[in-house]
Amino acid sequence: MANKLELTWVGKDEPIRAEPRILIEDAARSNCAADPATQNMLIHGDNLLALKALERKYAGQVKCIYIDPPYNTGSAFEQYDDNLEHSQWLNLMRPRLEILWRLLSEDGSIWISIDDDERDYLKVLCDEVFGRSHFLASVVWQKRYSRENRESIGDSHEYILIYVIDKERFKKTRNYLPLTEKQKKLYKNPDNDPRGSWQSVSLLAQGYRPNQMYEIVAPDGTIHCPPAGNCWKIIESEYKKALAEKRITFGTDGKGVPRRKQFLSDAKGIVPWTWWPQDEVGHTGQSKNEVNLLFGSEVSFDTPKPERLIERIIHIATNPCDLVLDSFLGSGTTAAVAHKMGRRYIGIEMGAHAYTHCKLRLDKVIAGEDAGGITKAVGWQSGGGYRFYELAPTLINEDAFGEAVINPDYDAHMLAAAVALHEGFTYQPDSAVFWKQAKGSEHSYLFVTTRHVNHAFLDSIRSTMTDGEHLLIACRSFDAGLDRAHACIRLQKIPQMLLHRCEFGKEGYALNIVTPPVYDDEEEAGDA
């Protein structure tokens, strides 16, 4: 489209090359003794590769995504390099945002923390990736409680951009904020109403609606009409019903403007708005104290978010057992808060602090040794669990001659799972049929083997297939012409079948023709 508005930068049109990897559980680091069935995941590794690994299984499943990416502020943090040129930063963010959007459920939302340095660039990028119509709001978080006097103008806030899949659906499912103690004190019961404390709220609404323009007669005979530019909030029949139920007040003397009684027992809560002051959701000093208590000031984390801030996001966007994801986990705040709030979660962190901070923090939460943050507010004690995962190494290596070879670290199960991920299949080996290792669309299967496939072996597989079934065989090599032997079976060679995919970014391989080895009958039968 010639007149399309878009953000451009160096490298934007370059293809994103990321090799999909499988996830391998590190059982020694998992903590699920108290909850063997836990679905919580802590993943160590590059978050783009990890998101690619999660995409097929979790597409459309995540209720809330919160990320706190590097702000590109020019500061060098110990945990990551935040000094990226703008184009590099945008190239880092775009592919991750694209996958994150595909992971969201129909009523899901994504919340992104950012500051002034990249906020406007990020907004335009998100508009392009998600669609401008999916933008919901930009929250302003007051991150400081005291003045910043070192700068020309003190920096006191950050932003949280919110995008949703479906605005109307999100509005119906999002939660209200609970009333604060200060707000609860506004409710009184001066007339000893048996329904309890109440406060009066206006009966007026802006605008003109003919069926909401009527006279109201007060107990003292005064006639009240809506002032210019206003109408009553409810139609006359609804007003008369509320009056009969003694839900209308005219003040203590009966001479005031009519107002509606709103009872504390009926209060749903507060509709969230975009101004989040530090006294409600915490500030950077508080979050620093939280992580210092957990890790000690010597090995603390430089840029944590307060638990109350993340609690508010998760409270608004989710309900217990919903799935929360943070692909820039940092010190582990999102996972810790989700755990305490009874949500399922996936956390991804690339640096060594996946071990030193995220795992340690979750272990303390599970053991009941984290008394800080929102622990007391939500009544958290102990329990639950998570599984710790590492990204598998690259699947394709180069040998001494520069040829493509399968990484010898991959065993048969890892290889089958990795090829399934690359080819868009779901890895789920059939316990009865050995060649049904992974499933694609209906009646479509994948079989991965490092053996050479000959006519006899292929015919034996074909004889066990039923009408309508289709099979892709990924193998080391196969007899000449065998790929045309059966219409319902397709054969491809590893690693050649994978290298054509631009995700690998290894286009320079000189692919050789494999000389078929000779197998005796025992070998043909035994190494499928």
Cβ(272)–Cβ(316) below 8 Å: yes
Q: What is the DSSP string of 368-435?
A: T---STTHHHHT--S---BEEEEEPPPSEEE-TTS-EEE-TT--HHHHHHHHHHHHT-EE---SS-TT
CATH number among 3.30.390, 3.30.870, 3.40.1350, 3.90.660, domain 396-526: 3.40.1350
- Say which residues have a Cβ less than 8 Å from residue 274's Cβ, sequence separation at least 6: 137, 138, 139, 140
Are residues 259 and 202 in contact, defined by beta-carbon separation less than 8 angstroms? yes
- Cα-flanking dihedrals φ and ψ of residue 182, to 5°? -65, -40
Token pair recorded at residue 458: 């292929």
pLDDT tens digits, one per residue of 192-248: 999 999 999 999 999 999 999 999 999 989 999 999 999 999 999 999 999 999 999
List, for residues 401-454, the tens digit of each pLDDT value. 777 788 888 888 899 999 998 888 999 999 899 999 999 988 999 999 988 999
Q: For residue 230, how many other CB atoms are within 10 A of its CB?
A: 17
Cα(438)–Cα(417) distance, rounded to whole angstroms? 8
Contact 122, 158 (CB under 8 A): no
Q: What is the pLDDT of residues 88-139, one digit of tens each?
A: 888 889 999 999 999 999 999 999 999 998 899 999 999 999 999 999 999 9
Neighbours of 171 (CB within 10 A): 12
Q: Cα separation of 143 and 166, whole Å?
A: 29
pLDDT surpassing 80 at residue 5: no
pTM: 0.84
Looking at residue 82, its pLDDT comes to 59
Percent over 70 (pLDDT), the chain:
91
Name the residue ranges covered by the structural domains of the chain. 23-178+271-391, 181-266, 396-526
DSSP category for residue 340: H
Q: What is the CA radius of gyration of the chain?
A: 30
3-state class of 239 per DSSP? helix
Beta-sheet strands, E only, within 183-340 = 198-202, 204-206, 216-217, 223-224, 230-232, 248-249, 259-263, 275-276, 323-326
> 23-178+271-391 in CATH: which number?
3.40.50.150
Tell me: cis bond preceding 320? Omega within 30 of 0 counts.
no
How far is Cα 52 from Cα 485, in angstroms, rounded to an integer? 34
Residue the block writes with tokens 């109403």: 193
Distances (CA, A) of 87 to 9, 13, 101, 121, 279: 5, 12, 21, 10, 36
Q: Which two tokens stand for residue 515?
A: 């000389």
**pLDDT tens digits for 42-89?**
999 999 999 999 998 999 999 999 999 988 765 544 455 655 677 888
Q: At what angle do helices 86-103 and 47-58 cross, to 10 degrees?
A: 20
Whether the per-residue pLDDT at 3 is higher than 60: the answer is: yes
Q: By the 8 A CB rule, do 165 and 106 touch?
A: yes
pLDDT in tens, 354-412: 999 999 999 999 999 999 999 999 999 999 999 999 999 888 888 777 777 888 888 88
Half-sphere exposure of 382 (CA within 13 A, CB side): 10
Numbers of helices and strands, H then E, in the chain: 17, 26
Q: How many CB atoms lie within 10 A of CB 450?
A: 15
Taking alpha carbons only, the member of 416, 324, 394 closest to residue 58 is 324
- Stated as kind and residue range, the H or E segment containing 243 is helix 236-244
d(CA 165, CA 134): 6
Query: Are residues 278 and 142 in contact, defined by beta-carbon separation less than 8 angstroms?
Result: yes
pLDDT score at 474: 92
